[in-house]
């Protein structure tokens, strides 16, 4: 659901996902993304909410999208707290036409 709906060149998307697997416990994933001027994005979420032995948890990150003429460059970063694996840092770099 987009809460801001383009107000002041901003979008705030909030989402939730409820899981009911037949071979595991129920859990909920929640997250939101704030995008300003279709250029800067900030993200935060939590995976495995209400799951007893979940190794996953808080996730956050951001991204930048920049266009020059017909070419678009984007860079994304995320941090994940992953229990026994400690901290996970993920990067993504892309180029589009």
Residue 7 has pLDDT above 90, yes or no: no
Q: Give residue 18's pLDDT.
A: 92
Q: pTM of the prediction?
A: 0.82
Give pLDDT tens digits for 63-88. Answer: 999 999 899 999 999 999 887 878 89
Token pair belonging to 29: 């994933």
Strands (E), the chain: 10-19, 27-36, 40-49, 58-68, 71-81, 87-96
Residue 62 has pLDDT above 90, yes or no: yes
Tell me what the mean pLDDT of segment 23-38 comes to.
90
Q: 1-19: b or e for each residue (b if 16 or more CB lie within 10 Å)?
A: eeeeeeeeebbbeeeeeee
Place of tokens 């995008």: 35
Q: Give residue 17's pLDDT.
A: 93
Token pair belonging to 11: 């979008």
Residue extents of the structural domains in the chain = 7-96
């Amino acid at each position: 659901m987009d809460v801001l709906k383009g107000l002041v060149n901003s979008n705030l998307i909030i989402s939730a996902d409820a899981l009911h697997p037949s071979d595991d416990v129920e859990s909920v994933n929640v997250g939101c993304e704030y995008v300003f001027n279709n250029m800067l994005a900030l993200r935060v979420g939590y995976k495995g909410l209400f799951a007893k032995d979940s190794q996953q948890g808080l996730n956050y990150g951001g991204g930048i999208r920049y266009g020059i003429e017909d070419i678009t460059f984007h860079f994304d970063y995320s941090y994940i707290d992953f229990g026994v694996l400690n901290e996970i840092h993920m990067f993504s770099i892309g180029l589009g036409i």
